[in-house]
Structure 1
Amino acid sequence: MSYEIVKKENSEITIQATVGKDEFEKAVKSAYNKNKGKFTVPGFRKGKVPQSIIEKQYGEGVFFEDAVNDLLQVHYEKALDALEITPVARPDIDVTEIGKGQDLVFTALVTVAPEFTLENYKGIEVEKINVDVTDEMLDTELEKTREMNARLISVTDRAVQDGDTVIMDYSGFLGEEQFEGGTAENQELVIGSGRFIPGFEEQLIGKALGSESEINVTFPEDYQAENLKGQSVVFKVKINEIKFKELPELDDEFAKDVSEFDTLAEYRESIKKELEESSKESAVAAQRDKVLEAVAGLLTVEIPEKMVDAEVDGMLREFDQQLRQQGLSLEQYVQFTGGNLDELKSNMREDALARVKTGLVIEKVMEQEAIEATDEDVEAELDKIAELQKRDKEEIRKLFAQDNFEYLKSNLKSRKTVDFLVDQAKLV
């Protein structure tokens, strides 16, 4: 076999691989042995039909596809190794020569990362991010805690008001027919939450406890159910309960109930310290992002579309996993939001391009500054992971040793590179 580069243009390399005829014939023979049981020819038992007879009846290329698939998988990887090429996306492969008693020749159009040099990244000016904890932030946190500790008090002497929680039965009608999904019993709804169709909640204001009424609304034109898009419907609603939210007083007793502190002043001070710590962490992360964004802005090289496509696919897989953890599928999400997969990919494209650029500059700075992950770095990281996960360090070591610590070292090198860029940046 032989491998060679036949064309190189920007970030696309065309390689040609030639597989000798003997190896090709051997692959065809293997394909025959795997598939001969599928062929029936009069005069022969199933699975016993000679290769030559099958090829005569079905064409000499009947086993070529399976043979080629097996060979491509092996020789594409060998060609990349031999030519020292690192692809960044799936290749476009084309078989150019094939036939009985001849070599198999195929070409692969491979996308690689663009070649570039990076300068002026040391001392790059970046806006300094400061996050100060304000009284408004403290008040917001306290209000969240009050909301969490609020009580719902039943109302019997007045009608529904904005902000109330109502417990209701309802049935939805399109014309004279009830429509699917439009009926519920003892459904809880906070008036003003915007959970229901526009106009529904507003019409409940002023309704009395135990009252039965008709609510007229129109479904949005982009509603997910085709039969209800833009349709005017009627909901027959009965108010079973009305409740209002009673917030606890913001005093020392409140502080004792929700914390380990005896006074509101002490509790407020503890929240301030927590906010300062979390704000500091957020500022550090935001500062790193700002520095990376600035360094990525130094790139003038054209980014291959296939690199962005591959990043979008990766982001889509990440999003799909996040949805599944919440009990949703990607298909359900698309349906609920009234969009489609192409729109979702398009919306991810700008972020995907930014991620590709960030990855490229990190790799380039890592290379130019010869940043490595030392044994001491690895040991320190193993200690940190073991402490965070409350697991034995040797157990963690065995886990990462499976790939000779390459995954761990790669992450450490990237992190050290970003640390280097942040240290070198001029914060203004």
Structure 2
Amino acid sequence: MAKDKKKAVIVAAAVFIVGILVGIFAVNGYQAVEKKKEAKKEEEAEANYVAEECVTLGEYKGIDISLVPTDEDIQIEVDSLLEEHTEYEQKKGIAEEYDTVYAEFEGYVDGKKQESTCGRENITIGSGDWLPGFEEAFIGVKTGTKIKFSVDVPEGVYGDPELDGHTIDFKAKLLYICGDPIVPEYNDEFIEAISKYKSVKEYNAYLSEKLEKENVEDKLEFAWTQVLDNSKVNKYPKPLMKAARKEVLKGYYDLAEIQGYTRDEVFQSVGCEDEQDFKDTQLEELAQDTVKEGLVAEAIANKEGLRYTEQEYEDFVKEEYEFNTDSYDTKKAYEKENRDYLQRTVLMDVVKKWLGENSNFVVSEEKGA
């Protein structure tokens, strides 16, 4: 009898505990369902965003845009010139990964020499600047040694049907391993030796004129950049951020496919360890930049009554599809998957053109500003 009572107590306790657990799971399940409902409602609400509420536009009409190169712009050009003419201590030995070597090379496709694959260059082993397998061919090679190796060229790399999709057979000679850099001094003697100009002053004037000409050609981008800087995002709609993250990643995936690299190799080229590191450190900011451009363009278009025509959209879709025929069977399939990007970009182009007509571009006095 005592055993039966004890058994009954245990059963009752078990039933009680099960009842509590069922209640807890029921409550948690209900809360989870409610959270999903709330998240869905929030996402639907944000999908119907109003651009003017999400972004505060700064000045954008009739603003002054300077196209005159700054001293910093000129210095960047000078630094690039000095880097181009920098020589290195010439070391002998066996090349290792991360060494910079100086080599001469010639490329052949089916026995025919291809001039665009020939040259003498500094090659940093492991930089990823060359075709996959090119840099690695010099690892373990002794200076003065001639080598032969082959590299497969992915489609779209050169834009040359005689090279893209083919195998290039290289003949190369490792001339020396680069030691400490020997940077030339930026003075009149240097300028006279490498150009038709007689002095630093003359060359700087040439750089200023060249850069300003380039700035004039890119004036719409200068205006757009300043308008973006003048504007502030109040809210990044979740659906736009989700689409932007996907778009940014797809751009890098496509780049990897075109260049014949792995995805991680492409992300390493922008300073990340791998794709996950990129997602953790850079993706969010790039997605926000993408969303900001779209919001600013849409807000200005709404205020100024700007729209793109059906023909402008169709022309742009056709142009973009021509670069993506390997990834999509039809133009319609490409347009369907990339519609948000295509519509946003066409609208931005319309806004940029309008800004170009409604901005004051400042050039040098010599050009008659």
TM-score, length basis structure 2: 0.44
Query: For the pair shown, which has the larger CA radius of gyration, 1 or 2?
Result: 1
Higher helix share: 2
TM-score, length basis structure 1: 0.39
